[in-house]
């Protein structure tokens, strides 16, 4: 009973509203209006003030007319760069929606938003009995999960949460995701003329090179990864590099393993600095905690029943990425992340199959019925 054309049109509308991280104000106001028209009670929390953005999270409640589990559906409003002036194209031959190749598409995560809105409209239009339903459209998920971190949890009373923000097609249930440590390193050496007296300098890039050479990076084991992502420094070629900034990360499904990997990276940097006589400042921040939901948990069984109703096999899996799901679980809201079919996210080749978009809306409807 999903209105396919309306769903497509709304998705196209949403991706054309610019909403880079911290600048989601315009799309938030559009979504407030849409949710109110459906019949939801809607507020915007103060997450934007706390995070330094222009709006907070959109929180909506659709009151039910029967007993049952209160479900929360969540997607984030922001898109990664380049995401200004998105021009979506319907490729009818392949049954997909893509960008024109100059920007991302924004199906991460406006496909989730469109699916939730269409499902709620369908429930209302067809007078489907349902328990209370809550919706969170979060800010600034990309690059920090700030919307979920500063979400006003006092406004939520959901039994289970379903985050629509994974790349697999509907049927994918992400029940495990890692913790992440963000590592910032500043190496301070000593400048000197590179041609006249280089031996009087301390090269920060040589310190970094020595450390990285002795560091375990990329795939550490089946649960753990680590990466040096940004290296920034230098003034001119004729000056021994006096200062260097490095941004790195480590992730693991096991917090114990994450602690070991992060400590290894920190100690390796410190040892290299000591060898060269450089100063070093290291800042480590646990960006988010891991989560694991058991296969036999009620939330997983609910999802599998919904997929069974669609003649789709529900399969559980894990991911190496973080999402609002991590933060919801950390704050006591049991949550899983569901696949909605976005492909090649965060690239200029991002696309989504129209069939996956439609099935994502059906998925939300079936979850509501099964609750």
272-290 as b/e, with b when 16 or more CB fall inside 10 Å? bbeebebebebebeebbbb
Which position among 108, 109, 141, 370 bears the catalytic label?
Answer: 141
Helix axes 4-15, 354-370, angle to 10 degrees: 110
Secondary structure of residue 317 in the 3-state scheme: strand
Which position among 10, 45, 78, 165 bears the catalytic label?
Answer: 78
Helix axes 25-38, 107-125, angle to 10 degrees: 20
Q: What burial class does residue 172 get, using C-beta atoms within 10 Å of its C-beta: 0-12 exposed, 13-18 middle, 19+ buried?
A: buried
* Strand 133-138 to 58-62 pairing: antiparallel
141 in active site:
yes
Nearest in space to 108 (alpha carbons), one of 350, 355, 353, 363: 350
No. of H helices and E strands in the chain? 10, 18
> How many other CB atoms are there within 10 angstroms of residue 324's CB atom?
26
Give the residues across from 138 on adjacent strands.
76
Is there a contact between 325 and 335 (Cβ–Cβ < 8 Å)?
yes
Is there a contact between 246 and 185 (Cβ–Cβ < 8 Å)?
yes
Catalytic residues: 78, 141
């Amino acid at each position: 009973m999903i209105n396919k054309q309306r769903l497509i049109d709304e998705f196209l509308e949403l991706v054309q509203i610019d909403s880079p991280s911290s600048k989601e104000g315009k799309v938030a106001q559009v979504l407030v209006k849409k949710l109110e028209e459906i019949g939801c009670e809607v507020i915007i929390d103060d997450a934007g003030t706390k995070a330094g953005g222009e709006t907070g999270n959109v929180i909506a409640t659709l009151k039910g007319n029967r007993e049952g589990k209160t479900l929360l559906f969540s997607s984030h409003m922001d898109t990664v760069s380049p995401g200004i002036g998105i021009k979506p194209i319907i490729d009818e031959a392949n049954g997909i929606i893509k960008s024109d190749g100059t920007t991302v598409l924004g199906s991460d995560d406006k496909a989730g938003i469109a699916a939730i809105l269409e499902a709620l409209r369908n429930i209302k239009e067809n007078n489907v009995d349902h328990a209370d339903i809550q919706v969170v459209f979060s800010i600034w998920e990309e690059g920090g999960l700030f919307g979920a971190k500063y979400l006003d949890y006092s406004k939520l009373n959901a039994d289970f949460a379903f985050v629509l923000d994974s790349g697999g097609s509907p049927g994918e249930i992400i029940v495990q995701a890692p913790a992440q440590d963000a590592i910032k390193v500043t190496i301070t050496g000593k400048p000197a003329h590179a041609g006249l007296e280089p031996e009087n300098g301390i090269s920060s890039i040589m310190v970094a090179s020595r450390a990285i050479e002795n560091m375990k990076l990329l795939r550490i084991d089946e649960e753990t990864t680590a990466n040096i992502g940004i290296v920034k420094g230098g003034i001119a070629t004729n000056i021994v590099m006096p200062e260097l900034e490095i941004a790195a990360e480590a992730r693991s499904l096991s917090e114990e393993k994450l602690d070991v990997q992060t400590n290894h990276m920190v100690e390796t940097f410190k040892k290299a600095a000591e060898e060269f006589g450089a100063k070093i400042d290291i800042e480590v921040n646990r960006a988010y905690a891991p989560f694991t939901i058991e296969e036999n948990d009620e939330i997983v069984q609910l999802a599998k029943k919904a997929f069974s109703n669609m003649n789709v096999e529900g399969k559980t899996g894990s991911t190496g990425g973080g999402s609002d799901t991590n933060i919801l679980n950390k704050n006591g809201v049991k949550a899983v992340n569901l696949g909605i079919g976005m492909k090649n996210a965060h690239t200029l080749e991002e696309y989504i199959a129209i069939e996956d978009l439609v099935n994502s809306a059906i998925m939300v409807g079936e979850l509501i019925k099964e609750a």
